[in-house]
Every structure is written in C-alpha cells, then in structure tokens.
C-alpha cells in the first residue's frame, strides 16, 4: 500500500505506520520504516520518538528482570473486586508481578466477620501473638468474610431499591400527568371530572360515606362551597331526605359545572383554556415539591415501625400511597378554587391613582435634612427634560400640574466637600469616614 504514495504523502503514511508499530511494540518493523522516510524533518521527529520508546523499553526490561511490579496491601477491602483490581495492576499486558497483603485481626473486616474463626485456627496451629500468619485456611476465612460483607451490602442496596420503587411509581404518574397537561389543547373535560371528584372527596370528609341524609351537616358543606367556589346549595330547594349520597354528589357537581360554564363565557373559551393549563401546571409543581419533602420525612422515621413488629417497607408503601392520594385530591381542589376565584382585569383596573403624598414625593425637591449640606440635588439635562414633560401618558391616568413639573434651578451655597478632605464637623476624620459614610 505504501508504494502507491509518492514524495511527502509517502513519508506521512510511513509516519503513521511507525507510530502504529511502536504502539504494538514491533520495534524491528518500526526501525525499517524509519529508514524508508526521505524527508529530513519528519525523519528527525520520528527518530526522537523512537529514541524515547527505546528508552522506555530498556527501563521496562530492567523492571521485568527485577521481578516486575510488586503490590503491597496494608488491609483487605470489604469487596473482593477491589482487591482483584489492585492485584491486576501487577500483571498488565502479560507482565510479571506479585502482590502481598498484610491484615490484622483488629481490622474491621476481620473483627466483624472472621475474628472468632481465625482465632480458633491460630490456636490449632499453635501460633503466638505477633507472629506472622501464612496459611490457606486464613486466606479462605478472609474470603468468606468478604462474601458475607458483599451479601450484606447487596441486601441493603436491594432494600433501598424497593423504597425507591415506591417513589418512582409516583414520579412516573406525576410526570405523565404533567406531560398530558402540556400536550392537551383542551382541559375542560378533565376540569369537569375534577369537580365531580372534589365534591365526592369533600362529601366523604364532611358527611361520611354511609350516613343518612338526615345526619348530613349541610352548614359545613355550604361553608366549603362558599369559601372555595363562591356558591351555596339551598336545602329548601331540594328534597334532601330523598337524596342518596351519589344523587346529591351528582346534583352538587352539576351546580358547580353550570357555574364553571358561566365563567367560561365571561372569560371566552380560548382564555379559559390558557388559564386551565397555566394554573394546573403551577399547582401541580408546587404540590409535588411539597410531597417530595413529606416522603423524605416519612422515609426517615418509618424504621421505627419495626419496634411494633411491623414491616417498615409495607408501612412505607401504605403511608406513601395515602399521601399520594391526598396529593392528587389537593391538586384538583386548589386548581378549581383558583379557577373559580380568578377575575378578569381590564385596562382601567390596571392603572392606579397617584396619591397626594406620592405626587409631592415625585415632583418635590430633595433636601439634605440632617446636615443642610445640599439645598437640592442637581438633575441632569435628561432628567430635567423628563421631569418637565412629566411621566408617560396612559389612558385614564390624571396628568400632574404643570407648575409642579417645572424644572428647578439648583444653586450650591457652600463648597462641596471632597471624599478625602477633612469633614466639616471638625472631628478630624476624612469626610468619607465621617458624615460621608452614608
């Protein structure tokens, strides 16, 4: 292939082949290729590289003659994988090497998992304290201790994963819900369904699922409707005694949906769809962040349930599901409350009248009331022009009187005090460290 290149291109191709040969430790081939290079500068550069590689080769051979890399470990790790990786440093790419590890019966690994067994082995072998221990039984006992630690760590990770799966299921549901809000163009059906769910949720809280209509606390239910949706249901207009739980829930939902449709006509359907999406996203994000904190607090203290002979994982799943159900209900309730209370704002409502105090503050002069150093603050030409013209005009906003907006000529009665000059009060300090600090 090299024969098809000529001149500088051939030298470049040979350079690539030389570098490849050096990486593969094919020094004889690399030397022949170097001699075939004709360009002087390239040949000089490659020879310098070849010299460095040869120097490394000589050092490498010297280390191999000494026995290669020796790994010295001061303890055994809990994981066999870490020890094997450390041993592997001594035998890279087929090179020779050795390793030796020193351990003590007081090491954490031996103290927790292998101390008693190894002590028995030492007694059988008649070994004394402080004497070196080298025996296959000892190595086997250490390996068994490492297996126990690895098994324990695996169980811990597996247990934590089961806890994380609870949050992961809630997270997937919440993110799917959020994506649907972003992608759906019309959320009206979802909002009307939320009305039905919220009514049933609050009726269960206030009335109870199995109570008779005679025992319903209509006053509390109407207080909820009034505070949340600004409406009430008159018990005199319906035959309450003949109403079942589902019938009254359907009637109350229909009443709220009718009011919701009225508000939609007031806002226009297009604006209502935008409000639904924006409010649902805002409420969902805020409630979800608060829910994450609640789940973290629950996870921190759920382990105490084990003292009551209850499985903490089962209790965490149960409590987490209860919190998540409450989260879903609260998202629906808060979003509906905002949609029922929000009001359109016109241009006239956005403009606020200026009070006399604000007017005098805005157009009056500013004095140095404490020291009397300045009579007024001199305004620049742009500020004077802006003040003479007054603020920008808006529809419905009263304009300030022209005599108050007139530019004021400024005159200084005394010499201006420099920052590094003595203060005028006679304290002996510089002005910037005395009255000029503020």
Cα separation, 184 vs 14, in Å, equals: 63
Q: Hey, what are 52's tokens?
A: 């460095």
List pLDDT tens digits, range 325-359.
999 999 999 999 998 888 876 544 544 555 556 54
Asked whether the beta carbons of 340 and 263 are under 8 A apart, the reply is yes
List pLDDT tens digits, range 209-246.
767 777 788 888 888 888 888 888 877 777 777 778 88
Phi, psi of 72 (to 5 degrees): -115, 115
Please choose, from the candidates 87, 86, 75, 156, the residue with its C-alpha nearest in 3D space to the C-alpha of residue 114.
75
**End-to-end CA separation in angstroms for the chain:** 82
Which residue spans within 68-200 are E strands per DSSP? 69-73, 97-101
List pLDDT tens digits, range 163-210.
889 999 999 999 999 998 888 878 888 888 898 889 888 888 888 776
Pick from 101-110, 259-268, 366-375: least confident? 366-375
Model confidence band, residue 28 (pLDDT cutoffs 50, 70, 90): low
Render the burial of 121-150: b for 16+ CB within 10 Å, e for the rest.
Answer: bbeeeeeeeeeebeeeebeebbeebbeebe
Asked whether the beta carbons of 136 and 68 are under 8 A apart, the reply is no
Q: In the prediction, which pLDDT does 381 show?
A: 47
Q: Are strands 69-73 and 97-101 parallel, antiparallel or unpaired?
A: parallel
Using the Cα atoms of residue 353, residue 356, residue 361 and residue 362 in order, give the sign of their dihedral.
Answer: positive
Please choose, from the candidates 264, 277, 263, 195, the residue with its C-alpha nearest in 3D space to the C-alpha of residue 228.
195
Phi, psi of 99 (to 5 degrees): -150, 150
Model confidence band, residue 282 (pLDDT cutoffs 50, 70, 90): very high
Residues 6+ apart with CB under 8 A from 111: 105
Pick from 40-49, 260-269, 336-345: least confident? 40-49
Phi, psi of 422 (to 5 degrees): -60, 145
Model confidence band, residue 437 (pLDDT cutoffs 50, 70, 90): confident
If you count them, how many residues does the chain have? 438
Other Cβ atoms less than 10 A from the Cβ of 194: the count is 21
């Amino acid at each position: 292939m090299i024969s098809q290149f000529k001149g500088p291109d051939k030298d470049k191709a040979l350079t690539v082949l030389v570098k490849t040969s050096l990486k593969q430790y094919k020094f004889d081939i690399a030397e022949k290729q170097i001699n075939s290079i004709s360009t002087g500068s390239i040949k000089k550069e490659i020879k310098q590289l070849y010299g460095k590689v040869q120097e490394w080769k000589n050092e490498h051979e010297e280390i191999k003659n000494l026995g290669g890399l020796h790994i010295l470990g001061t303890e055994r790790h809990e994981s066999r994988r870490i020890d094997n990786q450390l041993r592997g440093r001594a035998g890279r790419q087929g090179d020779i090497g050795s390793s030796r590890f020193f351990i003590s019966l007081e090491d954490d690994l031996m103290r927790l998992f292998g101390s008693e067994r190894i002590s028995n082995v030492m007694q059988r072998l008649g070994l004394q304290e402080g004497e070196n221990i080298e025996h296959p039984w000892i190595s086997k006992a250490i390996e068994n201790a490492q297996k126990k630690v690895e098994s324990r760590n695996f169980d811990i990770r597996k247990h934590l994963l089961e806890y994380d799966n609870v949050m992961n299921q809630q997270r997937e549901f919440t993110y799917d819900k959020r994506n649907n809000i972003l992608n759906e163009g019309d959320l009206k059906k979802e909002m009307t369904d939320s009305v039905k769910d919220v009514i049933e949720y609050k009726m269960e809280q206030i009335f109870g699922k199995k109570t008779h209509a005679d025992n319903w606390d209509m006053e509390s239910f109407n207080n909820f409707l009034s505070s949340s949706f600004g409406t009430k249901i008159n018990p005199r207009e319906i035959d309450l005694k003949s109403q079942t739980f589902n019938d009254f829930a359907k009637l109350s939902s229909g009443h709220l949906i009718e009011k919701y449709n009225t508000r939609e006509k007031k806002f226009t359907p297009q604006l209502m769809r935008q409000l639904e999406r924006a409010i649902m996203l805002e409420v969902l994000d805020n409630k979800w962040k608060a829910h994450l904190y609640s789940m973290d607090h629950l996870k921190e203290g759920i382990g105490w349930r084990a003292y009551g002979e209850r499985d903490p994982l089962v209790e965490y799943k149960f409590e987490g599901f209860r919190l998540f159900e409450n989260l879903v209900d609260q998202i629906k309730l808060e979003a509906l409350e905002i949609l029922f209370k929000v009001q359109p704002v016109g241009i006239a409502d956005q403009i606020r009248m200026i009070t006399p105090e604000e007017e005098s503050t805005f157009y009056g002069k500013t004095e140095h009331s404490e020291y009397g150093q300045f009579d007024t603050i001199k305004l620049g030409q742009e500020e004077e022009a802006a003040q003479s013209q007054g603020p920008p005009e808006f529809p419905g906003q009263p304009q300030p009187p022209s005599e108050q907006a007139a530019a004021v000529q400024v005159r200084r009665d005394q010499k201006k005090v420099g920052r590094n000059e003595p203060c005028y009060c006679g304290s002996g300090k510089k002005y910037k460290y005395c009255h000029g600090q503020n």
